[in-house]
Chains A and B, each alone.
Chain A
Amino acid sequence: MSTAETVPADGSSAALALRIEGLQKSFGANRVLDGIDLSVASHEVICLIGASGSGKSTLLRCVNLLEPINAGRIMLWGQDITRPGIDQNAVRRHVGIVFQSFNLFPHMTVLRNITLAPVKALGLARRQAEDEARALLDRFGLLDKQADYPDRLSGGQQQRVAIVRALAMHPRLMLLDEVTSALDPELVAEVLDVIRELASGGMTMLIATHEMGFARDIANRVCFLAEGRIVEDSPPAELFSNPKDERTQRFLRRIIDAGRL
């Protein structure tokens, strides 16, 4: 996959893909994100870890503009995507997101799930969109599922289709929101393999995950979130073996006690 290397003309500063400054997000009185600062370079893979409710999913949803933010700003390749008047749909076409619960369209075949947005949002000819979709399905071993409805697929297959659906839009940034959390343990590997392949192809990714081993393998940097802030942001080797913040240490100890690392 080589779509991530197309850096925009104004991609001034060494292709900084994503820059988040002072991001705040509240649901009513509940402040879920409390001043997030984060920079992601092109081709970088960042894993977000932290307890449930620490704000990982909300952060990803804000970057995809699925949630309006309360303060701060989000820059994508130098463009402020949180300023008023921005074409949200245009932004979303460049930012793929994959959800924990797959969210495939149950009334469409696998192929239609994948081609809907390229045809209706990008204006691609149906035939071309289908050819591209089949190529992607083939690459991830799903070609024989193209005519099936999502209900017929296993969780792992559904999640891989969801990833293909996002890839069909040629996103330059992929957001993965705990994509293996809803899967049976034996199905996790097939999905993680797909993500590994994307990473090796140079896809810029922001990944919220509970799979610590996976995060250690794949991430350039791991961010630990607690109470709506990034309390630690370091390379995986450092964060997992020598966590600085006391909250990170406690979190990792619980993970280790649970036998998950």
Chain B
Amino acid sequence: MADTEPPIFTSAGVPQTSFGQAGRGPRLFSGGGRGAVAVSTASTIVVLAALAALFWLAPGSAAVRHTFFNPQDMWNSFIGDPKAGYYSVGAALWLNIRMFLAAEVLILALALAVAVVRQSTSPVMFPLRVVSTIYVDVFRGVPLILVIFAIGFGVPALNLGFVSTQSAAVYGVAALVLSYSAYVSEVYRAGLNSVHQSQVAAGRSLGLSHWTSLRYVILPQAVRNIIPPLLNDFISLQKDTALVGILGAIEANKAAEIYSDTVFNYSSYVVAAILFLLLTIPLARFTDHLIARDRRRRLAGAPA
């Protein structure tokens, strides 16, 4: 049989697509040969040149470049000058990073608890299930900015001593956690559902308790399946820390706003935008790396 096979599917005869060799998977920059590389390079240059020309030749180009992309203003806003009345956007970003890190850890924990409660079937858990469901419905439905307002201005007004005397950043993190946990719990739930029932049966059949089985068998597989959507939410979270500025916390966006209010130049916002990009892009690459490493390890075998 084998020697009479038509040559269509042998390596010599496979028509190469622009996604590269079979087995290597689609790759962004790999072409189907020299010709394809030349074509994609040329077309990229043409498109970029056209966009640049449009920008430079637009009637208001000079004004926009001065207002948004002024190198001197960008530098000034980046390093800040307290005597001139504005803060360093770069230093303020540190607050975004801290809020993000704190919120991320809390969200991972709270969202998991909510997801597990909603997935439970025991009658004992019924009241908790109702509370969790209402929580998710409410906090997915209310705009984040309103949650930030409600917590940031409402909780201090309650005069609850310690609870009411926290900084704006703390209330901001609390609002972010409440809002994002509702979303992330749904991501977790999808992950838990994606683990096949036979894995549940295998765990239980070995005499593992419900919680042990969840902890060692189901959750690790669920989390692997949801790393990309989870990361997507965290990239979004990194950016949304900028919203906490409305409570008066001096984070990057607020610092940029103060600069533009002081100097009447918007270049500070571009600096903030670039800084946020510098945060999010590495996070995206890191996730790709995690996914690839996990797949390699499972297919290649590795030391225990």
Residues of A within 8 A of B (CB): 61, 64, 66, 89-93, 96-97, 99, 101, 103-107, 109, 111-112, 116-117, 120-122, 146-149, 151-152, 165-166, 169
Residues of B within 8 A of A (CB): 198-199, 201-209, 212, 216-217, 220-221, 224, 297-304
Question: Whole-angstrom distance from the CB of B293 to the nearest CB of chain A?
Answer: 13
Question: Whole-angstrom distance from the CB of B117 to the nearest CB of chain A?
Answer: 22
A103 and B208 form a contact (CB under 8 A): no
B207 and A93 form a contact (CB under 8 A): yes
Question: Whole-angstrom distance from the CB of B240 to the nearest CB of chain A?
Answer: 32
B201 and A149 form a contact (CB under 8 A): no
Chain B residues whose C-beta falls within 8 Å of the C-beta of A148 in the assembled complex = 301
Question: Whole-angstrom distance from the CB of B210 to the nearest CB of chain A?
Answer: 9
Chain B residues whose C-beta falls within 8 Å of the C-beta of A91 in the assembled complex = 207
Number of A-B residue pairs at CB separation under 8 A = 81
Contact residues of B: prevailing secondary structure:
helix
8 smallest beta-carbon distances between A and B, as pairs: A93-B207, A117-B206, A103-B202, A148-B301, A92-B207, A121-B207, A97-B205, A109-B304
Chain A residues whose C-beta falls within 8 Å of the C-beta of B298 in the assembled complex = 106-107, 149, 151-152
A147 and B302 form a contact (CB under 8 A): yes
A165 and B301 form a contact (CB under 8 A): no
| Given the contacts A107-B224, A120-B212, A148-B301, A66 and B201 also touching, CB distance less than 8 Å | yes
B301 and A149 form a contact (CB under 8 A): yes
Chain A residues whose C-beta falls within 8 Å of the C-beta of B203 in the assembled complex = 105
Selected contact of A152 from candidates B202, B208, B224, B300, CB within 8 Å = B300
Question: Whole-angstrom distance from the CB of B209 to the nearest CB of chain A?
Answer: 6
Complex Cα–Cα for A93 and B209 (A): 11
| Given the contacts A116-B216, A120-B212, A149-B302, A66 and B198 also touching, CB distance less than 8 Å | no
| Given the contacts A103-B202, A106-B221, A149-B297, A117 and B207 also touching, CB distance less than 8 Å | yes
A147 and B207 form a contact (CB under 8 A): no
Q: Which of B209, B302, B304 has the largest number of chain A CB atoms within 10 A?
A: B304
Q: Specify the chain B residue showing the minimal Cβ separation from A100.
A: B198
A103 and B207 form a contact (CB under 8 A): no
Complex Cα–Cα for A121 and B204 (A): 10
Chain A residues whose C-beta falls within 8 Å of the C-beta of B221 in the assembled complex = 105-107
Complex Cα–Cα for A149 and B205 (A): 21
Question: Whole-angstrom distance from the CB of A111 to the nearest CB of chain B?
Answer: 5
Complex Cα–Cα for A103 and B300 (A): 20
Q: Specify the chain A residue showing the minimal Cβ separation from B196.
A: A103
Complex Cα–Cα for A97 and B297 (A): 28
B205 and A66 form a contact (CB under 8 A): yes
Complex Cα–Cα for A50 and B199 (A): 26
Complex Cα–Cα for A99 and B300 (A): 25
| Given the contacts A103-B202, A105-B217, A152 and B301 also touching, CB distance less than 8 Å | yes
